[in-house]
Amino acid sequence: MIDIDDQRAIIDRRRLMAELDALAAESASAADQGPAVSAILKRHLAAGRDEIRARFTSNSRGAQAGLRNAHEAAFLIDQILRALFDFTTLKAFPLGNPTAAERLSVVAVGGYGRGELAPHSDIDILFLLPYKMAPYCEQVVEFMLYRLWDLGLKVGQAARSVEDCLRQADADLTIRTTLLEARYIWGDQTLYEEFRSAFARRIVKGRGEAFYHEKLAERQARHAHQGGSRYELQPNIKDGKGGLRDLQTLLWLSRFVVRAESIAALVDQGLLTGAERATYDKAFNFLWTLRCHLHYLTGRGEERLTFDLQPEIARRLGYTDHAGSKGVERLMKHYFLVAKSVGGLTRYVCAAIESHCFRKPLLRLPTLGILRKELDGFPLENGRLTIPRADHFNQLPIDLLRIFRVAQKHDVEIHPTAMTAISHCLRLVDQLREEAAANALFLDMLTAPARAELTLRRMNEVGVLGRFLPDFGRVVAQMQYDMYHSYTVDEHTIFAIGILSRIERGELKDEAPIASQVVKDVLSRRVLYLAVLLHDIAKGRAGDHSELGGEVAEKLCPRLGLDAEETEQVAWLVRYHLLMSNTAFRRDIDDSKTIADFVDLVQSPERLRLLLVLTVADIRAVGPKTWNGWKAQLLRELYHRAEDLMLGGVHSDAREERATAALAQLRAELQDWPDADWQAHLARGHPAYWLAFPAATLARHARMIRAADADSQPLSVEFHIDKWRAMTEITIYTADAKGLFSQLAGAVALSGASIVDGRIFTLRNGKALDTFFVQDGQGGPFDQPARLAKLTATIRLVLEQPQRLLPQLDALPQLADPAARNFPIIPRVLIDNRASATHTVIEVNGRDRRGLLHRLTACLTRLNCQISSAKVSTFGHRAVDVFYVKDQFGLKIESEERRKAIRAALMEVLTEIEEPGDAATRVTTLDSWPPRPPQNVTAAQ
pLDDT digits (tens, 9 = 90+) for 870-897: 888 777 778 888 999 999 888 999 999 9
Sign of the C-alpha dihedral, residues 126, 127, 130, 131?
Answer: negative
Instruction: State pTM to two decimals.
Output: 0.78
Compute CA distances 405 → 100, 209, 344, 391, 414, whole Å: 65, 30, 20, 20, 11
How many other β-carbons are positioned within 10 Å of the β-carbon of residue 407? 24
> What share of the chain in percent tops pLDDT 70?
92
Residue 70 backbone dihedrals phi, psi, to 5 degrees: -65, -40
pLDDT band for 481, please (50, 70, 90 cuts).
low
Length of the chain: 941
The full DSSP string for 147-181 is HHHHTT--EEEEEEEHHHHHHHHHH-HHHHHHHHT
pLDDT digits (tens, 9 = 90+) for 423-465: 999 999 999 999 999 999 999 999 999 999 999 999 999 999 9
First-to-final CA distance of the chain: 64
Is the pLDDT confidence value at 202 over 90? Answer: yes
User: What would the mean pLDDT of 801-807 be, rounded to a whole number?
Assistant: 76
Domains along the chain?
Answer: 7-205 (3.30.460.10), 370-468 (1.10.110.30), 482-646 (1.10.3210), 714-812+918-941 (3.30.70.260), 816-915 (3.30.70.260)
Q: What is the pLDDT of residue 446?
A: 98
Going by the DSSP 8-state scheme, the letter that residue 99 receives in this structure is -
Question: Cβ neighbours of residue 213 under 8 Å, at least 6 residues apart?
Answer: none
User: 935: Cβ–Cβ under 8 A, 6 or more apart, which residues?
Assistant: 789
**CA 188 – CA 200 distance, rounded (Å):** 19
Task: Provide the H-helix boundaries in 310-451.
Answer: 310-316, 327-357, 392-395, 399-410, 416-424, 436-447
pLDDT digits (tens, 9 = 90+) for 522-554: 999 999 999 999 999 999 888 899 999 999 999
In the β-sheet with 105-108, what is the strand arrangement from edge to edge? 155-161, 123-129, 105-108, 183-187
Secondary structure of residue 325 in the 3-state scheme = strand
Instruction: Please state which of the ranges 243-247, 362-366, 519-523, 890-894 shows the lowest mean pLDDT.
Output: 362-366
Least confident interval from 33-37, 179-183, 604-608, 657-661? 657-661
- The DSSP annotation for 101-120 comes to GG--EEEE-HHHHTT---TT
**For residue range 130-162, what is the model confidence (pLDDT) as tens digits?**
999 999 999 999 999 999 999 999 999 999 999
- Predicted local confidence at residue 761, as pLDDT: 86
Segment 633-675, tens digit of pLDDT:
889 989 998 998 887 754 445 667 778 888 999 999 999 999 9
- Alpha helices of 712-851 — where are they, by DSSP H? 740-750, 785-800, 805-811
